[in-house]
C-alpha cells in the first residue's frame, strides 16, 4: 500500500525539518514548503493531508487554505493549522475556512502525530491517494446511497452533493452534518448528538465548532439553507 502523502508549509525551516523527520518515522511521505507561494507551485491534489502555518510572508496560511478550498482537487483535502495564533477568534476563523484541526504553538511532536492520525482516520479517503479501490457492482448499491430533498441530492457512495444537478463543494464535516440532518429530517438533534456522530474520534473539539459549520453549510446550500433550522437551547434540524 502506498504511503499517505503529507505537505508541511511553514516559513521556519527548522520546524519543517523536525516535522518531516518525525512524520517520516511514522511511515508518511512528507514534502515541505517554506511559503504559501512555494506550496502553490506543487501538485497539491496529490496530498492526503496538509499542515499549514498561518503567519507566512505575503500570503498567509489562512489565504492559502481559502485557495485550497476553492480548487476542486483540494476542496476535500484535510487541513491542520499549526500556528502561534492561539486566540479563540483565530481558531474559529480557521475552522470557518474549512480546517479539520487547529494546533497552537508551542506543541509537542507527540501531539502533532496524534492529531495527524486522528484527521486521517476521519478523512473520506479510506486509503492513500494513489490506492485505487475495487469497483462496486451496481446491484451492490443500497437505497441508503442517496438522500434527497427536492433538488438537493446527497450521494453517500460518491461523497458528492448536488443542487438541481449542479455539484457543490462541501468539506467533510459539512457533508457529514448534512447527511445526518437529512437522515433525520423534521427531528431536532442536540449538539451532543451531532458531535458524537460527526466528531466521534476528534482529539479536541472547540466551542462553536458546530455553529460555524452549520452557518457555512447554510450559505452553500443557497435556497435549501433555510431548511436547516435552529432550536435555541436544543440543537439543529432539517425541516421539510
The model's pLDDT over 200-213, given as tens digits with 9 standing for 90+, comes to 655 455 547 788 88
188 and 221 both lie in a single domain: yes
Q: Cell numbers of 210, please?
A: 458546530
Distance of alpha carbon 10 from the chain centroid: 20
As a whole number, the mean pLDDT across the chain is: 84
**Tally of structural domains, the chain:** 2
- Whether 136 maps to a domain, the answer reads no
Query: Of 122, 152, 176, which residue sits at a domain end?
Result: 122
189 and 222 both lie in a single domain: yes
Burial class (CB in 10 A: 0-12, 13-18, 19+), 200: exposed
**For residue 224, what are the domain limits?**
143-238
Q: pLDDT (tens digit, 9 = 90+) per residue, 164-221?
A: 999 999 888 889 999 999 999 889 998 888 888 887 655 455 547 788 889 889 999 9
CA atoms within 13 Å, Cβ hemisphere of 84: 7
* CATH number reported for the structural domain that contains residue 216 in this entry: 1.10.10.10
Residue 114 confidence (pLDDT) above 60: yes
Q: pLDDT (tens digit, 9 = 90+) per residue, 42-59?
A: 999 999 999 999 998 889
* CATH number reported for the structural domain that contains residue 104 in this entry: 3.40.50.2300
Cα–Cα distance, 74 to 25 (Å, whole number): 26
Distance of alpha carbon 240 from the chain centroid: 27
Name the pairing type of β-strands 189-190 and 235-238.
antiparallel
By the 8 A CB rule, do 214 and 236 touch? yes
207-236: b or e for each residue (b if 16 or more CB lie within 10 Å)? ebbbebbbebbbebbeebeebbeeeeeebb
- Whether 135 maps to a domain, the answer reads no
CA atoms within 13 Å, Cβ hemisphere of 13: 1
Residue 116 confidence (pLDDT) above 70: yes
190 and 225 both lie in a single domain: yes
41 and 71 both lie in a single domain: yes
Average pLDDT over residues 148-177: 90
Amino acid at each position: 500500500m502506498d504511503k499517505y502523502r503529507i505537505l508541511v508549509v511553514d516559513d521556519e525551516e527548522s520546524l519543517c525539518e523536525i516535522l518531516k523527520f518525525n512524520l517520516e518515522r511514522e511511515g508518511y511521505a512528507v514534502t515541505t514548503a517554506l511559503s504559501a507561494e512555494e506550496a502553490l507551485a506543487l501538485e497539491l491534489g496529490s496530498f492526503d493531508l496538509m499542515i499549514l502555518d498561518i503567519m507566512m510572508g505575503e500570503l498567509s496560511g489562512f489565504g492559502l487554505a481559502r485557495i485550497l478550498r476553492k480548487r476542486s482537487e483540494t476542496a476535500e483535502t484535510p487541513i491542520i493549522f499549526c500556528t502561534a495564533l492561539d486566540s479563540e477568534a483565530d481558531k474559529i476563523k480557521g475552522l470557518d475556512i474549512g480546517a479539520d484541526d487547529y494546533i497552537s504553538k508551542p506543541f509537542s511532536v507527540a501531539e502533532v502525530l496524534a492529531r495527524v492520525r486522528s484527521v486521517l482516520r476521519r478523512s473520506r479517503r479510506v486509503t492513500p491517494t494513489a490506492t485505487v479501490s475495487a469497483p462496486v457492482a451496481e446491484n451492490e448499491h443500497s437505497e441508503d446511497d442517496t438522500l434527497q430533498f427536492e433538488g438537493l441530492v446527497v450521494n453517500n457512495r460518491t461523497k458528492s452533493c448536488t443542487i438541481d444537478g449542479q455539484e457543490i463543494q462541501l468539506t467533510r464535516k459539512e457533508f457529514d452534518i448534512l447527511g445526518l440532518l437529512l437522515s433525520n429530517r423534521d427531528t431536532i438533534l442536540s449538539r451532543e448528538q451531532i458531535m458524537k456522530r460527526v466528531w466521534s474520534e476528534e482529539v479536541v473539539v472547540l466551542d462553536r465548532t458546530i455553529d460555524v459549520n452549520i452557518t457555512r453549510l447554510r450559505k452553500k446550500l443557497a435556497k435549501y439553507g433555510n431548511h436547516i433550522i435552529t432550536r435555541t437551547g436544543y440543537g439543529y434540524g432539517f425541516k421539510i
